[in-house]
Structure formats: C-alpha cells, structure tokens
C-alpha cells in the first residue's frame, strides 16, 4: 500500500470508531432523558405532597407557610395556592389574617418592597402581582402621555393657527 492509501485506511477506521462512540452516547442520552423525565415527575408529586402539608419548595428552599420562611416566601405560597394575581394591599391583609407579622408603618408598602424585588413575582398591572412562572401578559403598559398644553378655545373650532373667520 502506498502512503496515501494507508492514511486513507487509518482515517476511515478512525471515522468508524468515532461514529460508533457517537451512537453509544446518543443511546445513553436517550436513556438519561427518559430517567430525567421520570425523576421530574416524581419531584412534581413530592412537591404536591409537601404543599398539602404546608411546605413549599421554591428554588431549592423550603418555606413553611404556617411558620417561618420569609415574607416573600409566604406571599409566594398564597399566590401559588390561589393560582391568581393579588392586589398587594389585599395580599398584606391575607398575610396578617393568617398571623404573619409585617413590620413598618405601612405594612402593605413593606410587603410591596419585598415582592417587588423578588424575581418570582411579576407586576401584572398597577399594584397587582402574580407569579413570574405564570408568564402573564402585562396588562398596564404605559400609555402615551397627554399633551401638557391645554387646548385653547380658539383651537377647538377646527381652524388652523393664524386663520381667522
């Protein structure tokens, strides 16, 4: 065999070897994806059981709704449980109603400060918050501002500026 033919044989053999390795890895990937899917289903079931016991798993944290957990964790739990956005003052009252202490002169504003900077919450309209995971379309996009100049009585009768009747 010539040098070129030997080199070609070596490359073809290497190609077959790497192709076989790719096929093995794809098979392993399919098995891993199947196993991941099963484990995610188990986690969802465990989370539902924990929620029914008064605990909530949020991004690797456990929040006990009835005791402990941050103010934002407890607000998160209420939104998650009711599955609807809440006006922040009503949410503060609900939290106070279940015995959660909110400090400050304006307790609702304090709650707003906590949930407003927490990425789990999304403002859906003025004063109303939902969960980011719900991917709610924001309802109150800023409208174009009105002109600050008041309309003069002369301009209201459809005449062009500088024209007189």
120 and 74 in a common domain? yes
- pLDDT tens across 91-136, in order? 999 988 888 888 888 999 999 999 989 999 999 999 999 999 998 8
Range list of H helices, 53-151: 71-82, 88-97, 107-116
Sign of the Cα torsion 154, 157, 158, 162 reads negative
Global pTM reads 0.46
Domain harbouring 119, CATH code: 1.10.10
Of 119, 141, 118, 123, the C-alpha closest to 85 is: 123
130 and 104 in a common domain? yes
Residue 141 lies in a domain: no
Residue 44 lies in a domain: yes
pLDDT at 148 over 70: no
113 and 85 in a common domain? yes
75 and 125 in a common domain? yes
Boundaries of domain holding 3: 1-53
Looking at residue 57, its pLDDT comes to 57
Residue 107 lies in a domain: yes
Looking at residue 17, its pLDDT comes to 96
125 and 89 in a common domain? yes
pLDDT at 149 over 80: no
Residue 109 lies in a domain: yes
Residue 62, SS3 per DSSP: strand
Q: For residue 125, list its beta bridge partners.
A: 128
Looking at residue 136, its pLDDT comes to 80
Q: Which of 30-44, 104-118, 133-147 has the highest mean pLDDT?
A: 104-118
pLDDT at 68 over 50: yes
69 and 44 in a common domain? no
Looking at residue 50, its pLDDT comes to 76
Residue 81 lies in a domain: yes
What is the pLDDT of the chain when averaged over all its residues? 79
What average pLDDT does range 31-37 have in this prediction? 87
How many domains does the chain contain in total?
2
DSSP string of 33-49, one letter each residue: HHHHHHHHHHHHHHHHH
Sign of the Cα torsion 36, 51, 117, 128 reads positive
Residue 163 lies in a domain: no
Contact (CB, 8 A) for 143 and 126: no
């Amino acid at each position: 065999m010539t040098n070129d033919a030997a080199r070609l044989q070596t490359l073809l053999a290497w190609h077959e070897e790497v192709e076989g390795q790719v096929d093995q890895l794809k098979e392993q990937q399919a098995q891993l994806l199947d196993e991941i899917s099963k484990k995610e289903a188990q986690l969802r079931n465990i989370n539902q059981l924990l929620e029914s016991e008064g605990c909530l798993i949020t991004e690797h944290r456990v929040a006990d709704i009835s005791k402990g957990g941050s103010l934002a964790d407890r607000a998160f739990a209420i939104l998650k449980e009711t599955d609807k956005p809440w006006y922040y003052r009503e949410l503060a009252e609900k939290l106070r109603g279940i015995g959660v202490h909110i400090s400050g002169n304006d307790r609702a504003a304090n709650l707003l400060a906590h949930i407003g900077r927490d990425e789990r919450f999304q403002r859906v309209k003025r004063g109303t918050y939902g969960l980011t995971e719900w991917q709610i379309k924001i309802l109150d996009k800023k409208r174009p501002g009105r002109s600050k100049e008041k309309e003069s009585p002369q301009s209201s009768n459809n005449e062009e500026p500088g024209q007189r009747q």
